[in-house]
Structure 1
C-alpha cells in the first residue's frame, strides 16, 4: 500500500528516498522486473535457437537464417549480449509499469536513481562488462598478446579488447536521439526530407548485371578477399540472437513490422521482387546493443545512446586464425600433444596437406551440396572451424583460413626443431606472435597502398611513429559499418578456380559466387585449396565504377539456397548504417576536412558525374541524408587507390590508430629483436603460399595483376628466415 501511495503522491521523491524501507521496496520491484525480463529474453532466445536449428536441419534455411546464424554471438559474447538484453528489457518493464500507473509517457531512467540502475546492472550481469580487469596477474604481458587483448594498454586495460563497444568519431544520430534508427518511422522527416528506402537506392544506383562487370586492370582478386580477411581480424558485429520481438512476439522473418529487434527492409512497389512477394520484406535484425549503452549508459561512464559491440580485438593479431577470447583460442589448439599446433581435420586431407577441423554445431549451414548439385546421393559435411565464425562464408575466404592454419603449424614445427627445449605453450605463442607480425607487415607494406593511395600513405601511414598509450586503437563504428565495406564492390561474380597453368580448371570450373557460399565440400571433393588460391592471384578483382557498382550475385542472390527471398548486400549495408546511428555523408566529409556539397552542382563536382549526382538527389532530396556507405563508394578514386577521398581518410585514420595504439606492434622497441625485425621485413605472402600448397609458381607481388609469364618459381622466392628465433642455451 505504501508503494502505491508513493507512486500517486510523489513517485520521483519516493524512488530517490534514502529511507531504508523505501529503498528495500524499490529493490524488490527491481528484482521482480529483472526476473521477468530474464524469463522473456530466455524464452525468445530458446525459441529462436530451436527455430533456426530446425530449419537448417530440414535444409529449409532461408537467407535470413543463414545471415543470422553467421552473425550469432557465441561464447563470452553471447553472455555479454544476453546481459545487455536483460538490462534493456528490465528498464523497459519498469518504464511500462510506471507509465500505466501514471497514465502518461515517462522516461524510466529519469525516475530511477543511479543506485537503482546500478542494482539492475548487477542483477543482469551488465556490471561485469564494465569493470576494468587487473593486469597484475597476467603472465608474459610484455612478450605475448592475451587472446582478447586485455591489458594491451596498461592504463586503460579494456581499450582495443574484444567484446567492447565500437568507438564513435562523431556522435550517433538516432531518430529518437537514443536508440531508434533513422527510418524506423518511415514518415518522419530527416533534415526536412523523407529518407528513401534502401532497396530503392540499391535498385536505382548500384544495380549491375553479372555480364556488365568490369575487371580491375591493376589488381588481383586476392585484394578483394584479403580485404575481407583483414576485416574479419578487426570487426564482428553480432546480430540480436532472437527472431521474434521481445514486446509482441512477432516473428521477424514473417512480418514487415518494425519492432525490436526487427528492422525489415521494405521492397519498393516498382521492384520486380514486389510482384512475386507483395507482402514480404527482406528480413533485417538489428545489431545487439552493447551492455550499458542507450538509456543506461551514464552509469557506466558510457554514452547515453545505443552503442554496438565489436566481438573482436582492434589489433592486427590474426584473431581470425586464433580466436579472440581465451576459451575459443584454447578450443582451436591441438592439446593432445605438447607441440604448439592448431587442430586439423581428422577425416580429410588435401593431397596430404592439413585441412581445418569440422565444427560440432547443431545446425549445419554448410549442408548445401545436395541443394546446389541437385544430387541427393552426395555426402554432406559440416562447416569448418576457425578463429572467426565467418570462415565458411565463401571458398576464397575459407582457403585463406586454411592456408594460415597450415602456416602456423609449419612455423610451430620449425621452431620446435630450432629450440627443442621449448614446450608447446612457448612454441604456440611464438608462432602466433610471428603470424601477427606477418600480417602487420603485409597489410601496411603491400596492401593499404593499393586501397588508400600513396598520398594518404605518405600523410598517415608511412614511418612508424612509435607507441602512444593515449591513442585509442578501438575500431570506429563508421569504419566497421561503412568505410571498410568498400570491397563489397570489388567482388567478382565468380570464385575462380585455375589449373597448374593458370587456366580455367576443366574438371572443377569456377562457380558463381552464390554457389560458393558455405561450401567447404568444394575444397574436400573438388580439387582442394590450390585451384582456388591460383584463382585469387591469377584473376583480376572487379573494378568499382560509378556505372557498375554491385552485381546480381550480391544484390539479388546473396545466400540464395532456395526459393526464399534472397538478401541484398547493398541494402543491408545502408540499413546497417541507419541501425547503428551513423551520421550522414556530409557529416563525415566535414570530419575529414572535405567539402560538404549542398546542391546538385556541388555534388556533381564531388562525384565528377552529373547523372549520378542527379540520381542521388532524386532519391535523397538533400546531400545531408545520403547514407555514408552509399556516398563513400560513389566517389571517384583517389590517385593510386581504390576508394574515394572520404573512405581513404576514414580507412587511413583507423589503421593509423591501430598501429600507434598497439603496445605489441612489431616495430615497437622490445617486441622483437633487431634481427627478428629484419627477418620480418622480408616476409612474403607469396612465400607462405609456396610453403603450404602444391603451387610451384606465383606472382612475387600477389596483389598486383600480371601475366602468368611474369610469375616466379617458388624455388626462387627466399624462404622466411627463422634463425633469429633460435635461443642459445648456456
Structure 2
C-alpha cells in the first residue's frame, strides 16, 4: 500500500496540492482516507488503468479490433492494451525495494563493483567519427527507418508529467542533483564536455499504478513498473492512435469515405500532407510545437511523428495509403458507411504492417536460418500467450538499430540524382525539422534517399556515429544530448538486469572471465574494455552488451538480440486475436492477396516516384537497378476480394437502404442512415434459418430536413492527457526510442 501511494503521488504531483503532500512523504507514514485515494486515482488516471474493461460481444467485435487494444484477449482484456505496464521476463533489479534506478547512488556496488557513468561508456565504447563508418553491403537505410516506424506501433513510454524535482522544485533540465523525476546523466572529468556542462537532463519514466502480472509473488514487494502508453499489437496504431478520442481527431468526419484528415494549407504537388497541429485539438496542443519552436509545421498524429524527416515521410505515406484504400473500397462497396470503409482500411493497414515486418523485415535482421528456428510457422491464436511488450524489449533490445544509423540524411531528386534544391543533410539538421518536407521538395526526395542509401554497418569500434552521441538536437538550441547515454540511463531507470542475466534467460553461455567474454564478442580488445569499465560481465548494461555481439549468419544481430527479438515478435503474433493469418480474420482469397503486398508498391501508389527497387529493404547499388512501377515484380493489391456479396445463400438478395448504409457480417446485416436521415426500424436484421427470410423487416431512412448541413465539431475530450504525452515525448528528446 505504501509503495503504491508513492507511485500515485509521483504521478499526481503536478495536478493537486494533495498529491504534492504525498510526494514529500518518504516513506508515507499517514495512511490516506478512502476519499483521498479516490481523488488521487481520478487525478492521475489510475482509476481507468486499474478498471477491468467490459468487452463487447457480437459480430463487429470479432471483425474489428478496439483502438485501445482492450479485449483482444477476452480472458485477459488488458493484455497488450494501451496504458498498461510492460511485462517482465526477468524480475527487475533496482537499487532498493522502492524502485530507485541502478546507479542512482554512484557509490552503490553490484557484485562488488560500482556501475560506470553511462556517458563514460558512450565515449569509450560507442563513439564513432561520422567519417569512420562502414556501409552495409546488403541492406538499405529504409530497413533502419522501418525498425523505428514499427517501434512506434507498439511502444511508447510516457515520462514523468513533472519537469521539476518533487522535493526541491528544481528544474530537471538545469539541475545536476538526482531527485525524482530528475535522473541527470553526469559528465565524467575525462569527457570533452567537462567545463561546458556538468550533466545532461534525463527524466525518469512514469510509473504504472498497477503491478505487472509477470512474476507475481516472485519478489516480496510491489516493484516499480513502467507504462506502455499505446497498444502492443502491430495494428498501425501510429497511424490511427491508441484511443478513441485520438482516432476521432485524426479523421475527416465530413467525408463520406472514412478518410483520415488532410492538410488544408499545403500539398505535395497535389498529394496530401498530414494536417498541422492547432485548433483541431481545441487550441491547446499547439504548445507542444511552440516548445520546439515549430508552430507552423508540426503535424498532428503520433507524438513522435515530427522527430525527423524519415518519420514524417512514412507517416505521410501511410496516411495517403489509408485514403487510397478507402477510395477503392468505396467503389467496390458503395453501400458501406464511412465508418465501415475506415475500419476495413484500418484492418488492411494492420495486416500490411504485420506482413512487411514479419516476412520482409525480421528475416533480414535475424537472418533466414535463425528466423526459421526462432520463429516457427504460425499455428493459430493462443489466448494463453501475453502479447504485451516486455520492458527489456522496449528499453534495450529493440534499440539495436541505433548503431546502424547513417550520419547523413540523403535526399535525391528525380532519377535518384543529387539535387541542389534539397541537398544531403547532417542528421542533426533533420531532427524536428518537418518544415523541410513542406519547403524542400516533399517526401519524395527523402524516400529516394532511404531507398538508395545503404545502412551503416555495426562493427566494434564503429558503434554509434557522433551525430547521435555528440550532436543530438544541437540544431534545436541548447546543449546537445547523447543517444547512447540516454539508452543506457533508460535501462537503469527501468531496473533492467545486466547482460549476463539475459544470456542465461536465453540459454546462452554466461561469461565468467575475460576470455569467456572475448570468445562471445569475438573481440579481446572490446572484452577488456568492458571489464575495465564494469569490473564484471554481470554488470554490463544489457543494451550495450547485446549490440556488441557479432551478428548471426545472414542477420544483423547477435545471439542475445536474436533471442529477445524473436521471443517478443512471436508473442505479438501468436497472442493477437486479430493476426492476419488467423482463419476468422480474413478470407483465404483476401489472405492470398495480402501476401502480395510490398512497400515498393505503396511508395508507387502514393508518391510521384516512378522507379523503385523490387526489394526496398535490400541495398540497391545503382539507380539503373530500379524497376518501373508498372513492372510485374511490383504487383498491385487486388481488393476485389473485399467486395461484399449482394445475396445470401439462404435468404437471397441483401436488403439495401435508400439514403443509408449496410454491412453484412456473418448472417447479420447492420444498418446506418446517412447525414440528415433517421433510422426507422431495427438497426440490424438476421437471416432466419427456418423461414429463409431476413428478420425482422429491414428499416428505412427517414429524411430530417432540420439536420441537413449540420457541421459537427469534434473536440478531443481527453486533450490534457494527450498533450501531456506529446510534451513528455518532445521534452524528453529521446530519438529512436519508445
TM-score range relative to shorter protein? 0.7 to 0.9
Matching of residue 577 in structure 1 with residue 497 in structure 2: no
Tell me what 2:698 maps to: none
Distance 1:315 1:303, change over 3 A: farther
Distance in 1 separating the partners of 2:11 and 2:306: 33
Match of 1:336 in 2: 254
Name the SS for the 2:474 alignment partner: coil
Aligned residues: 634
Q: Residue 443 of structure 1 aligns to a residue in which SS?
A: helix
User: Structure 2 regions of 5+ residues with no counterpart?
Assistant: 279-284, 647-652, 654-738
Offset at residue 369 of structure 1 (A): 8.8
SS of structure 1 residue aligned to 2:455? strand
Structure 2 equivalent of residue 102 of structure 1: none
Match of 2:640 in 1: 723
Q: CA deviation at 1:137?
A: 6.1
Distance change in 2, residues 1:314/1:90 (3 Å): farther
The answer to whether the 8 Å contact 1:34/1:123 transfers is: no
Question: Structure 1 residues 217 and 293, CA, compared in 2 at 3 Å: closer, same or farther?
Answer: same
What per-residue deviation string (whole Å, max 9, x for no partner) do you get for residues 357-380 of structure 1?
Answer: 00122335479799xxxxxxxxx7
Matches within 5 A, 1:504-653: 504-561=418-475, 564-653=478-567
Residue 318 of structure 1 is matched in structure 2 by 236
Counterpart in 2 of 1:363? Answer: 287
1:385 to 300, 308, 314: 300
Per the alignment, residue 215 of structure 1 pairs with 135
Q: Could you say which residue in structure 2 is the equivalent of 1:438?
A: 352
Deviations 1:104-140 (A, max 9, x none): xxxx7xx899999799757865343212111136871
Find the counterpart in structure 1 of residue 77 from structure 2.
Answer: 157
> How far is the alpha carbon of 1:453 from its aligned partner?
1.2
Q: CA deviation at 1:462?
A: 3.9
Mapped to 2, the partners of 1:517 and 1:657 lie a distance apart of 33
Tell me how far apart the structure 1 counterparts of residues 113 and 224 of structure 2 sit (CA, whole Å).
24
Aligned match of 2:209: 291
| Paired position in structure 2 for 1:350 | 268
Question: Structure 1's 411 and 115: CA in aligned 2 closer, same or farther, altered over 3 A?
Answer: same
Matching residue within 66, 85, 89 for 1:146: 66
CA distance in structure 2 between the aligned counterparts of 1:261 and 1:369, rounded to whole angstroms = 25
CA distance in 1, matches of 2:73, 2:28: 43
Change (3 A) 1:445 1:38: closer
Inter-partner Cα distance in structure 2 for 1:382 and 1:204 = 38
CA distance in 1, matches of 2:180, 2:148: 29
Offset from partner CA, 1:705-726 (integer Å, 9 cap, x none): 1232222110112211000001
Q: Tell me if structure 1 keeps the 8 A contact 2:108–2:114.
A: yes
How far apart in 1 are the matches of 2:375 and 2:8?
51
- Measure the CA separation in 1 of the matches of 2:40 and 2:430: 46
Match of 1:355, SS state, is coil
Call closer, same or farther: CA 1:676–1:123 in 2, change over 3 Å: closer
- 1:41 is aligned to 14
Query: Does structure 1 residue 668 correspond to structure 2 residue 590?
Result: no
- Over 3 Å counting, the alpha-carbon distance change for 1:630 and 1:467 in structure 2 is same
Q: Is the 8 A contact 1:180 1:579 kept in 2?
A: yes
* Conservation of the 8 A alpha-carbon contact between 2:13 and 2:162: no
Q: Say if 1:394 and 1:516, in contact at 8 Å, map to a contact too.
A: yes
TM-score (norm 2): 0.82
For structure 1, list consecutive stretches of 5 or more residues without a partner in the other structure: 1-14, 17-29, 45-85, 99-107, 371-379
User: Residue 711 of structure 1 is aligned with which of 626, 638, 641?
Assistant: 626
TM-fit CA distance, 1:397 = 1.2
Q: CA RMSD in A?
A: 2.8
Give the match's secondary structure for 2:89.
coil
Aligned residues of 2:98 and 2:223 also touching (Cα < 8 A) = yes
TM-aligned CA deviation for residue 614 of structure 1: 0.7
Residue 322 of structure 2: aligned partner: 408
Partner Cα separation in structure 2 for residue 120 and residue 224 of structure 1: 42
CA–CA separation in structure 1 for the residues paired with 2:183 and 2:485: 12
Counterpart secondary structure, 2:194: helix
Q: How does 1:257-276 map to 2 (within 5 A)?
A: 257-276=177-196
Q: Report matched runs for 1:105-120 at 5 Å.
A: none
Matched, 1:199 2:119: yes
Q: Please identify, of 122-131 and 583-592, the stretch whose mean Cα deviation from structure 2 is larger.
A: 122-131
> Compared with structure 1, are the counterparts of its residues 217 and 525 closer, same or farther at alpha carbon in structure 2 (3 Å cutoff)?
same
**Structure 1 residues 96 and 171: CA distance shift in structure 2, 3 A:** closer
Note if contact 1:395-1:523 (Cα within 8 Å) is conserved in structure 2: yes
* Aligned-residue offset at 1:441: 0.8
Alignment of 1:430-509 (within 5 A): 430-509=344-423
Q: Give CA-to-partner distance per residue, 1:490-533, whole Å, 9 cap, x none.
A: 11111110122212223210111100011121111101111110
Q: How high is the TM-score relative to the length of structure 1?
A: 0.82
Cα deviation, 1:244-267, whole Å, max 9, x if unaligned, reads 111121111121111010000000
The 2-side partners of 1:338 and 1:406 are apart by: 16
Residues 125, 328 of structure 1: CA spacing in aligned structure 2 closer, same or farther, 3 A cutoff?
closer
Mapping 1:678-689, distance limit 5 Å: 678-689=592-603
Deviations 1:367-406 (A, max 9, x none): 9799xxxxxxxxx7230112x2101111011101000000
Deviation at residue 43 of structure 1 after TM alignment: 6.4
Q: Secondary structure at the match of 1:142?
A: helix
Distance 1:267 1:575 in 2: 13
Q: Say if 1:366 and 1:518, in contact at 8 Å, map to a contact too.
A: no
Looking at secondary structure, tell me which structure has more helix per residue: 1
Question: In structure 2, what is the Cα distance between the partners aligned to 1:556 and 1:710?
Answer: 36
Distance verdict in 2 for CA 1:366–1:551, change over 3 Å? farther
Residue 174 (structure 1) aligns with: 94
Q: Could you tell me how far 1:270 is from its partner in structure 2? A: 1.1
- Distance (whole Å) between structure 1 residues aligned to residue 290 and residue 63 of structure 2: 38
1:37-77 C-alpha deviation (Å, 9 max, x unpaired): 89853269xxxxxxxxxxxxxxxxxxxxxxxxxxxxxxxxx
Counting strand residues as a fraction of each chain, which structure ranks higher? 2
